């Protein structure tokens, strides 16, 4: 399987797990808690597979940066959490860093 697809699936799994973590209410709700465990388990498994071809620093930076951006978007849309200008600028810088790694880095299994 394509390493970038695996990394994308790892990111999506982590975002699903983190979203469910919010809904688990401190692990007091069974089904959201199960989604957390499965989401994080799958995310780390898929991330480990990407590390066969992508250096750990690059893979983790992309995984974490994309996850931060996506979970912030979900927090804003689904959980109605507000974002101030500093948060939006910070997220834009993170996304910019991920794009630079993807487009210009020669160390990332391209």
> Does any domain span residue 84?
yes
Per-residue b or e along 44-80, where b marks 16 or more CB atoms closer than 10 Å to that residue's CB: eebbebbbeebeeebbebbbebbbbbbbbebbeeeee
- Report pLDDT for 80: 95
Q: Report the share of the chain in percent with pLDDT over 90.
A: 83
User: How many domains does the structure of the chain reveal?
Assistant: 1
**Which residue range is the domain that position 99 belongs to?**
3-104
> Does any domain span residue 52?
yes
> Does any domain span residue 38?
yes
> Does any domain span residue 85?
yes
> Does any domain span residue 87?
yes
pLDDT digits (tens, 9 = 90+) for 56-102: 988 998 999 999 999 999 999 999 999 999 999 999 999 898 888 87
Residue 109 has pLDDT above 80, yes or no: no
> Does any domain span residue 89?
yes
Cα–Cα distance, 29 to 49 (Å, whole number): 31
> Does any domain span residue 109?
no
- Report pLDDT for 106: 77
> Does any domain span residue 110?
no
């Amino acid at each position: 399987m394509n390493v970038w697809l695996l990394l994308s699936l790892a990111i999506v799994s982590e975002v699903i797990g983190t979203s469910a973590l919010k809904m688990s209410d401190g692990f007091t709700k069974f089904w959201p808690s199960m989604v957390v465990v499965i989401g994080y388990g799958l995310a780390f498994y898929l991330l480990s597979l990407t590390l066969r071809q992508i250096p750990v620093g690059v893979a983790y930076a992309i995984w974490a940066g994309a996850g931060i951006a996506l979970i912030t978007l979900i927090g804003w849309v689904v959980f109605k959490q507000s974002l101030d200008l500093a948060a939006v600028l910070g997220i834009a810088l993170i996304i910019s860093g991920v794009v630079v790694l993807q487009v210009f880095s020669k160390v990332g299994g391209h």
